[in-house]
Amino acid sequence: MKDPLAARRDRRMFQFMTFSGNNNVFNLAGVRIVVETELRTILKPRTHTSEFLISGNENTLIELKIRYIGQGTSPGG
């Protein structure tokens, strides 16, 4: 079985999370998303690649908190 992160890299699926739809409210009060920067090292995204994608129209995110931890690096920054 192939490593799932290697499979994502091969398919160029660099996003960690996608919020999609139309006219949605994503209430993330009390939620903190913690991202280990080693994921960027493994995925090797291109420069200026979105890790969190918001797609659709008229979507609202409330109190989104993202914290990056670790020593990982990537060509994307």
Residue 74 lies in a domain: no
What pLDDT was estimated at residue 29? 96
**8 Å CB contact between 7 and 41:** no
Residue 75 lies in a domain: no
Q: What pLDDT band is residue 47 in, cutting at 50, 70 and 90? A: confident
State the pTM of this model.
0.68
**What's the mean pLDDT when you consider all of the chain?**
85
The pLDDT tens digits for 12-46 are 887 888 999 999 999 999 999 998 888 887 787 77
Residue where the block lists tokens 């409330």: 62
Phi/psi at 43 (nearest 5 deg)? -75, -25
Alpha helices in the chain (DSSP H): 4-10, 38-43
Per-residue pLDDT for 77 more than 60? no
Number of structural domains in the chain: 1
